[in-house]
Chains A and B, each alone.
Chain A
Amino acid sequence: MKVYIDEEKCTGHGRCAKYAPNVFRLNDEDGYNADAGKTIDVPVGEERNAALGMKSCPERAISVVED
Chain B
Amino acid sequence: MNGSSPTEPLDQETTPEALIERFGRDLVNDFDLDDPVFNDRFDETLNFMAHKCPVVHSKVGKGYYMINTQDDVRAAAQDWQTFSSAKGYMPNRPDGLPYLMPEESDPPIHTRWRRVLNPHLSPKVCAGYEQVVRDDANALIDKFIDRGECEFISEFGALLPGWAFFKNVLGLPIDDLAMLVNGVEEGTFALDLAERARNFGEVFEYLDKHLQWRSTQPQRGDLIDTILAGVTYDDGTESPWEHKVSILVDLTFGGIATTTFVMGSAIHHLATNPDQRQLLIDNPELVENAIEEYARFFPPVVALGRTATADVEVAGTSIKEGEFVMLTYACASRDPRHMDEPEKIDLSREGIPHSTFGVGPHRCIGSNLARIELIATLEEWLKRIPEYRVKPGGEPTYVTGFLRSMRTLQLEW
- A residues in contact (CB < 8 Å) with B: 9, 11-14, 18-19, 26, 28-32, 51-60
Contacts and interface: CB of A to CB of B under 8 A. Distances in A.
Nearest to B352: A56
B306 interface: no
Given A9-B78, A12-B118, A58-B357, 15 more contacts: A12-B122, A12-B363, A19-B351, A28-B122, A29-B118, A29-B119, A31-B122, A31-B124, A51-B351, A52-B351, A55-B351, A58-B355, A58-B358, A58-B359, A59-B78
B353 A56 contact: yes
Contact of B353 (A11, A12, A58): A58
Contacts of A31: 118, 122-124, 368
B252 interface: no
Contact of B363 (A11, A28, A55): A11
A18 B288 contact: yes
A26 B350 CA distance: 21
B74 interface: yes
Chain B, interface size: which category?
Answer: 20 to 34
B174 to A, nearest CB: 27
Interface string B110-125: 0000010011001110
Contact of A29 (B122, B288, B355, B358): B122
Contacts of A53: 351
Interface of B: 74, 78, 115, 118-119, 122-124, 288, 292, 350-355, 357-361, 363, 367-368
Chief secondary structure at chain B's binding surface: loop
B360 to A, nearest CB: 6
B308 to A, nearest CB: 21
Contacts of A60: 74
Contact of B74 (A29, A52, A58): A58
A43 B400 CA distance: 46
22 contacts: A9-B78, A11-B363, A12-B118, A12-B122, A14-B368, A28-B122, A29-B118, A29-B119, A31-B118, A31-B122, A31-B123, A51-B351, A52-B350, A55-B351, A56-B352, A57-B353, A58-B353, A58-B355, A58-B359, A59-B74, A59-B360, A60-B74
Contacts of A18: 288
Q: Which 6 A-B pairs have the closest CB atoms?
A: A55-B351, A11-B363, A31-B122, A30-B118, A52-B351, A31-B123
A46 B358 CA distance: 28
A32 to B, nearest CB: 8
Nearest to B361: A11
Contacts of A51: 351
A25 to B, nearest CB: 11
A47 B352 CA distance: 17
Given A9-B78, A11-B360, A18-B288, A58 B118 contact: no
Contacts of B357: 13, 58
Contacts of B367: 13-14
Contacts of A14: 123, 367-368
Nearest to B332: A58
A30 B288 contact: no
Contacts of B368: 14, 31
A14 B352 CA distance: 13
A16 B273 CA distance: 30
A58 B296 CA distance: 11
Given A56-B352, A58-B354, A28 B124 contact: yes
A42 to B, nearest CB: 15
A29 B368 CA distance: 13
Contacts of B74: 58-60
A28 B78 CA distance: 24
Given A30-B118, A31-B368, A52-B351, A59 B359 contact: yes
B262 to A, nearest CB: 16
Contacts of A13: 357, 363, 367
Contacts of A57: 353
Nearest to A11: B363
A31 B126 CA distance: 10
A20 to B, nearest CB: 10
A26 B123 contact: yes
Contact of B122 (A11, A30, A56): A30
Contacts of B124: 28, 31
